[in-house]
Amino acid sequence: MVQGLEVTLRNAIHGLLSKELGSDTWYNTVALGRPARAGVEYAKEKVVERGAVLLSGRVVAELKFGFWVKLFSHSYDKPLWVPHLRKLFPWRLDGKRSFVHGRLMELKTLRNRIAHHERISRGRRDVRQDYSDILETIGWISPDIRRWVASINGCEERFTRPLPKKSKPLLAAQASQL
């Protein structure tokens, strides 16, 4: 489900900036900070290493989720948020770049925990709230994609299913008899 957010966000940003800046290689001309510029160069290298033609869609697909989230940080307020990125979101979020960035940072942290096979239900995380936040964030960009992601992921069903009972660990002698 997090991948639904990641793909929705990157495709929306890429589509908007390609249209507004008149080039699908906008990432070559936008004044990106050093880490973001390095991310673009790394993505291009990955495409070339695979022996693929260096097309914008391939570069965009190689860019890390952190790259896209960073575009909503304070340093991109005037060059990207004000003239372009705010248009991705409904009027109620217009001018609320820091809110969008904060939400995306939270979801990036969740995504990284999942990607690194860390427990996500321990501590202060509320998995149901995370699920709701992901769907809400996708819905800011596309209500249709939000409905589709909600319909295919199975989280609602898992939330209503009772948790399995804990079983006692088997002793080595018991396990050898199985």
What is the structure's pLDDT at 79? 95
d(CA 23, CA 100): 25
Residues 6+ apart with CB under 8 A from 155: 1, 131
User: Element (H or E) spanning 173, and its range?
Assistant: helix 172-176
Question: Which portions of the chain are predicted below pLDDT 70?
Answer: 91, 94-95, 120-125, 154-178
- 135-166: burial string, b at 16+ Cβ within 10 Å, e else: bebbbbbeeebbeebbeebebeeeeeeeeeee
Note down the domain range covering 112: 2-161
What is the structure's pLDDT at 122? 61
Q: Is residue 21 part of a domain?
A: yes
Q: Is residue 113 part of a domain?
A: yes
What is the structure's pLDDT at 36? 97
In 50-131, DSSP assigns E strands to none
Cβ-in-10-Å burial (0-12, 13-18, 19+) of 68 comes to: buried
- pTM of model > 0.85: no
Q: Answer whether 103's CB lies under 8 Å from 140's CB.
A: no
Q: Is residue 98 part of a domain?
A: yes
What total of structural domains would you count in the chain?
1
The helix/strand/coil state of 6 is helix
What is the structure's pLDDT at 117? 79
What is the structure's pLDDT at 156? 66
Q: Is residue 132 part of a domain?
A: yes
Q: Is residue 169 part of a domain?
A: no
What is the structure's pLDDT at 177? 58
Q: Cβ–Cβ contacts within 10 Å for residue 69, how many?
A: 21
Q: Is residue 168 part of a domain?
A: no
What is the structure's pLDDT at 127? 79
Q: Is residue 118 part of a domain?
A: yes
Kindly report each contact of residues 71-77 with a partner whose C-beta sits within 8 Å and lies 24 or more positions away, as own/partner: 71/13, 71/36, 72/97, 72/100, 72/101, 72/104, 73/101, 74/98, 74/101, 75/33
What is the structure's pLDDT at 90? 72
